[in-house]
């Protein structure tokens, strides 16, 4: 028995030694904060209650009757609906173009990926100027259509759409890299055989490219949805969640509840809700798409 154990330890010990630092970092900076948030969500701790008081599920019940939280949650759903499919579709088209054997395709790839290289705060500053009334390029375009001055970030009806446009511009190039890697794994002789059989370009994309890039699409979808719920930098820089919470997203509202309102228990409850939501969405994606994915 000891001999068998020593043999397994000798065979697997080096591998576990290599993985151990990553596991420690993952435990300290991912799983421990998640468990800590779940524990804090069961307590009331704010400016009025300095010492934590156990309240059980009261924080979660309060969220159901909090109109601001419901509005912010709805904003985040619409933000995800607006950014995820558009940025993924644009990334796929960009990857198809960047994968073509054309002169200067390296420059094309850099141009597509360049927005992702800009820090979010710097990108937010650029778009803040583009949306500035009277002076911003997009604000002037909007003024030409409406015939009057338009404040895109100051109007509750347009502020979320303006942030969606900026986010799509920022993320599409990042997702393009994954699609480009997936496209380069597809054997070129499949397209050559299809062309010989008289199959058109559009049919090739539908029958070959899209099915064989489904693993990439699944990965990008999970990343895109997660990103849609974790953006906070551009909100802090551009709108502070206004006007009247019209552009506030879940993570920014958690930040605001924690550091502006000092309500740690409520912020922890919202954090748990966001984590559970993302886990459920990811599980449904993997379960629902498994039959549609071609790995070879």
Record the tokens describing residue 58, joined without a space. Answer: 């009261």
Tens digits of per-residue pLDDT, 132-165? 988 889 999 988 888 888 899 999 999 999 999 9
Q: Is the pLDDT of residue 86 over 60?
A: yes
The better pLDDT of the pair 191, 76 is held by 76
Alpha-carbon distances of 260 from 233, 252, 255, rounded to whole Å: 16, 11, 8
Residue % of the chain over a pLDDT of 90: 55
Record the tokens describing residue 2, joined without a space. Answer: 């000891």
The better pLDDT of the pair 129, 14 is held by 129
DSSP secondary structure string, 103-144? TTHHHHHHHHHHHHHS-HHHHHHHHHHHTSTTTSHHHHHHHH
Could you tell me which of 268, 233, 266, 269 has the C-alpha nearest to residue 252? 233
Verify cis geometry, omega within 30 degrees of 0, for the bond prior to 23. Answer: no
Supply the mean pLDDT for the chain. Answer: 89
For the chain, domains (ranges, CATH) are 1-29 (no CATH), 61-292 (1.10.3720.10)
**How many angstroms separate the CA atoms of 230 and 82, rounded?**
15
Alpha-carbon distances of 17 from 21, 26, 28, rounded to whole Å: 8, 15, 17
Q: Is the pLDDT of residue 296 over 80?
A: no
The model carries a pTM of 0.89
Helix axes 159-184, 120-130, angle to 10 degrees: 130
Query: pLDDT band at residue 3, thresholds of 50, 70 and 90?
Result: low
Record the tokens describing residue 272, joined without a space. Answer: 């748990």
Tens digits of per-residue pLDDT, 234-272? 888 999 998 999 999 999 999 999 988 889 999 999 999
The H-or-E segment that residue 53 falls in is strand 53-54
Could you tell me which of 171, 176, 169, 173 has the C-alpha nearest to residue 96? 176
């Amino acid at each position: 028995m000891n001999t068998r154990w020593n043999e397994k330890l000798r065979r697997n010990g080096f591998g576990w030694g290599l993985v151990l630092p990553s596991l420690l970092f993952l435990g300290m900076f991912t799983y421990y904060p998640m468990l800590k948030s779940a524990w804090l969500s069961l307590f009331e701790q704010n400016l009025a209650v300095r010492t934590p008081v156990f309240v059980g599920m009261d924080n979660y019940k309060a969220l159901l009757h909090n109109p601001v939280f419901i509005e912010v949650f709805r904003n985040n759903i619409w933000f995800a609906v607006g950014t995820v499919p558009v940025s993924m579709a644009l990334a796929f088209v960009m990857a198809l173009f960047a994968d073509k054997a054309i002169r200067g395709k390296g420059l094309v790839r850099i141009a597509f990926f360049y927005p992702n290289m800009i820090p979010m705060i710097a990108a937010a500053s650029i778009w803040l100027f583009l949306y500035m009334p009277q002076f911003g390029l997009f604000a002037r375009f909007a003024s030409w259509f409406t015939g009057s001055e338009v404040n895109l970030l100051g109007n509750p009806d347009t502020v979320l759409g303006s942030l969606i446009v900026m986010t799509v511009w920022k993320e599409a190039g990042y997702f393009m890299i994954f699609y480009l890697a997936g496209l380069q794994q597809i054997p070129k002789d499949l397209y050559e055989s299809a062309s010989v059989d008289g199959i058109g370009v559009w049919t090739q994309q539908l029958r070959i490219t899209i099915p064989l890039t489904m693993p990439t699409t699944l990965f990008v979808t999970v990343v895109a949805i997660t990103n849609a719920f974790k953006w906070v930098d551009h909100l802090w820089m551009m709108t502070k969640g206004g006007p009247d919470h019209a552009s506030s997203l879940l993570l920014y509202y958690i930040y605001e509840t924690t550091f502006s309102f000092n309500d740690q228990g409520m912020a922890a409850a919202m954090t748990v809700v966001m984590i559970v939501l993302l886990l459920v969405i990811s599980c449904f994606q993997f379960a629902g798409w498994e039959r549609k994915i071609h790995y070879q």
